[in-house]
A and B are shown apart, each in its own frame.
Chain A
């Protein structure tokens, strides 16, 4: 059974750095073709892709947020970590991690975690 779960702070202050962890099971990030990424969704708004890391450590970032994002993986712990610097209230959103596992797109998703940016 494949599962992903996001964890991290629910509240961050403006200018702070957000660190989110995606813990997963049921697949290995060392398997060829597999990737884990992050997608966010502001309240009442659309999905926005943020970043993706592949089994071979190939990293992709949204060009709109690239300067603020870093994605890393710890294959031994089955975790992927996303950091986003200089948080702003407009970054308030539910942050999802998603796996590119069976298909060519995000086929498995975590439940999401709501992050609020406020002083």
Chain B
């Protein structure tokens, strides 16, 4: 089962920042927070991931709280093409290997003109 809780849906105006929250209160020390999105049944697209520090790349920023129990994905200037289902996933790294991504229901983000 997914270890995260996300709102079912959100709306955002085009050009504004989209802030997508995620709760992962049972996260453990060797688990990373990953974000993916799926645009209209295409293959899931990697966005960003982090352990405990805030991260930023060309797509988004990831803000992780100090206790690591929640995080927020920020799309700084949302466009219509950002309309998608966004998945927040915690992923464990056992010694010497990696682990599958377990997808929950995600947040359906709709960017409105």
- A and B assemble together: no
- Residue numbers of A with Cβ under 8 A of B are none
Interface positions of B (Cβ within 8 A of A)? none
